[in-house]
Structure 1
Amino acid sequence: MNDHRLGTRNPYAGSGSTRSPKYSQEIQSQQRLDRLRAANVERTRVTRNHDIIRQWAERRGARPATMPGSEYDGQLRVLRFDFPGYGGAVLRPVDWDDWFATFDAKHMHFRYQDRRADGTPSNFNRLERPSPEDR
């Protein structure tokens, strides 16, 4: 199956593995990310850093978005990225400030990959709320 939306699926099999710290690497600063890229270390990462998230999305041409009708009392409820060629007809664009305000209010984490094992860019990403033991 040649699905360019691979970024929306779990790259690891097994229950609970997407939240397991052993399969991801927390990135808190751009400097740390740059060092990992220079060392060619590729794995699933997790961050709350707005600059890293925005740069990751913009390098892929993705824009912040939400699902129409998912807002409640003027607040965004569902956060998405609108990648070129996918979902734009069903997603509503939002500005980065609103997207990050919701991201922060929900204490979300951004789990992502920069590249696949073959070196091509990966669109894999998942927005997650931390489990109680991670807070």
Structure 2
Amino acid sequence: MSSSKQTHDHATIQAWAEKHGGVPAIVEDTKDSKGGGILRIHFPKHSESKSDLKETDWDTFFETFDKHKLDFLYQDKKSDGAESTFHKFIERE
């Protein structure tokens, strides 16, 4: 059985992403002049070279994350016990 966790703690999010080979990114077409846009955790080793994601730094990423009052929903393990990279950003309650 897999279970999801939810947080808005920056250190937890960054540690989870780095553990799974992820980097902070913004969807290129949604980027504004201040660096904000739709957030993603990008896994370069698991994606095509042609991506609409633009890597960014953690400070810019978390500035946008906090501005939009988001939470990070994520999973450590799949139901079969394998590591999971499932995650999504949701509105903070």
TM-score range, shorter chain: 0.7 to 0.9
* Higher normalized strand content (fraction of residues): 2
Shift in Å, 1:87: 5.1
2:50 maps to 89
Which residue of 66, 74, 77 corresponds with 2:26? 66
Tell me which of the two structures has the higher relative contact order, counting C-alpha pairs closer than 8 angstroms and 6 or more residues apart.
2
CA contact (8 A) 1:71 1:77 kept: yes
**TM-score normalized by structure 1?**
0.62
CA displacement, residues 64-86 of structure 1 (integer Å, 9 cap, x when unaligned): 01111312232311101111221
Q: Structure 1 residues 87 and 80, CA, compared in 2 at 3 Å: closer, same or farther?
A: farther
One-letter identity of the residue aligned with 1:99: F
Partner of 1:37: none
Contact 1:82 1:88 in 2 (8 A): no
Structure 1 75/125 Cα, relative in aligned 2: closer, same or farther at 3 Å? Answer: same
Q: Residues of 1 paired with 2:28 and 2:46: CA distance?
A: 18
Residue-pair matches, total: 91
Q: 1:122 to 1:57 in 2, by over 3 A?
A: same
In structure 2, stretches of 5+ residues that fail to align are: none
What RMSD over aligned residues (CA atoms) do the two structures have, in Å?
A: 1.7
Match of 1:124 among 63, 66, 86: 86
Residue of structure 2 in register with 1:108 after alignment = 70
Q: Indicate if the aligned counterparts of 1:68 and 1:92 stay in contact, CA closer than 8 A.
A: yes
Residue 14 of structure 1: aligned partner:
none
Q: Name the SS of the counterpart of 1:80 in structure 2.
A: strand
Within a 5 Å distance, the mapping from 1:1-135 to structure 2 comes to 43-83=3-43, 84-86=45-47, 88-90=49-51, 91-130=53-92, 134=93
Greater Rg, structure 1 or structure 2? 1
